[in-house]
Chain A
């Protein structure tokens, strides 16, 4: 039983197995005869020639821009919406069924809706990302606000803090763990919507490039694109959890959890 392996041993297990996994994929694809699955070195060299830096500015940057704009719009609308609803029990009861329905709408359907509303363009992509991401953010913010210990709010009142001070110094920090829960759900949706929107209506972007390569039977190019999309998803997640650790450091410390 390796219940508590030494630090070095643990690390070598992690690195060793990961290297082994990559090695196995390498070997399995090395003499692949499938026209759809090229060997790992082919994918990697295509990846390098496509993304460093031939198509970086023409496709990666627009994708990141769309993702950031849509996500940002969802935060700017979703957090205040959630706070407004969370402040009153009546508002919560009034909006709950509609908001639950909105959240249950399958996100991929927002892309055709956005295309029909705004035609193909930046607005359509930003709208479809934002519309889907608003609900998890708003609902989590609302739940977080409603679940606050009333003493916190009453104390802030008793100290005579003004509205803005109360909002930024008391309410937002107290609700922030729940806001981040919403953001974490949303970031996955944002990447999903970006990929769909770029494949259904775009003439550049990583998602478009994957479909374009596939339609031209450029299989290594398609795989290079898939790899880039994977990195985009991983990157977006990593940035968010970095932000979360910074913002919520006090929270984790408070709970005595190691970050």
Chain B
């Protein structure tokens, strides 16, 4: 619903402003509904879990009551140990993801820029992409043992492909006519990069980032659970080993919240750039 005030009569903006108000009121009601219902859903889920354990359907040794988990979670939040564990995971995630960004995006853009290079490397890339990074866990144990390094390497391998492929797709989706026009207008290669290439690659990269963020966390936690790299995964594994089931579940809750936070941030980031993309598409038809 975009307005073009310059071409409309004086009364027009007032009317559409009114309409927009009513629309935004509707949106607000809908949003309030979804918040209330969503909260209700969370409440129902927690109570259901509580009931399942309290009624003896499942042994509380196996699945602790939901309120116990939540209580322990909040008790833990005050401790430095809790934040150290989360910090370990986040540092490994961050370093690995940064390395993946620096390697995969320029590489993908270079490959995508040349038809010849893409055709040449495509079979190799398509072959390697579905290979599960966790297949290399055993090798990482031999090479680096239960260290942060193992986790970082797995993060890089986990998130690299989606970034690389999206960078390639973005480069290949550039408008040739626009590039040629820019070229024939004598626009320098630096400005061409800035005003043609980057805007058309960015939406693709945003999708790559959203996927990569999730795969990076999966790689990190896999290394922590299996190899014993420091962080949330190791904590959960050790708590189960020690029979501290409630503690294990409280750290699972924490991991879920970390995952949720990363998911929300990255989808917002993606939406921002995709919105631009689609509106642009509509104009050009």
Binding site for B on A (CB under 8 A): 1-5, 10, 13-18, 21, 36, 90, 93-98, 100-109, 111-113, 115-117, 188, 191-192, 195-196, 199-200, 210-211, 213-214, 219, 222-223, 225-226, 229-230, 233-234, 236-237
Distance (whole angstroms) from the CB of B49 to the closest CB of chain A: 11
How many pairs of A and B residues are in contact by the CB < 8 Å rule?
160
When distances are taken between beta carbons in the complex, the residues of chain A under 8 Å from B143 are 36
Residue of A nearest to B158 (CB): A192
Instruction: Decide: B138 and A226 in contact? CB cutoff 8 A.
Output: yes
Nearest B residue (CB) for A185 = B211
Interface string of B204-229 (1 = CB under 8 A from A): 00000000000001100110111000
The reply to whether B115 and A2 form a contact with Cβ atoms under 8 Å apart is yes
B65 contacts partner chain A, Cβ-Cβ < 8 Å:
no
Please report the total number of B residues contacting A with Cβ < 8 Å.
55
Is the CB–CB distance between A214 and B131 below 8 Å?
no
Q: Whose C-beta in chain B lies nearest to the C-beta of A217?
A: B142
What sequence of 0s and 1s flags, for each residue 135-179 of chain B, a beta carbon within 8 Å of any chain A beta carbon? 111110111000000000000000000000000000000000000
Report the Cα distance A198→B130, complex, angstroms: 19
Q: Is the CB of B119 within 8 A of A233?
A: no
Give Cα A93–Cα B34 distance, bound, in whole angstroms. 5
B136 A226 Cβ-Cβ under 8 A? yes
For A96, give its contact among B34, B141, B233 (CB under 8 Å): B34
Bound-complex Cα distance A223 to B135 (A): 10
CB distance from A194 to the nearest CB of B (A): 9
- Asked whether A226 lies within 8 Å of B135 as measured between CB atoms, the reply is yes
With A105-B252, A196-B222 in contact, do A90 and B37 touch (Cβ < 8 Å)?
A: yes
B33 interface residue (CB < 8 Å to A):
yes
Contact across chains for B124 and A230 when beta carbons are under 8 A apart: no
Q: Contact flags (1/0) for B103-133 with A, using CB distance below 8 Å?
A: 0000000000001100111111001001110
Q: Which residues of A contact B226 (CB under 8 A)?
A: 108, 196, 199-200
Contact present for A233 and B115 (CB under 8 Å): no
Q: How far is the CB of B56 from chain A (nearest CB, A)?
A: 16
Q: A13-B119, A116-B245, A214-B138 are in contact. Are A100 and B263 (CB under 8 A)?
A: yes
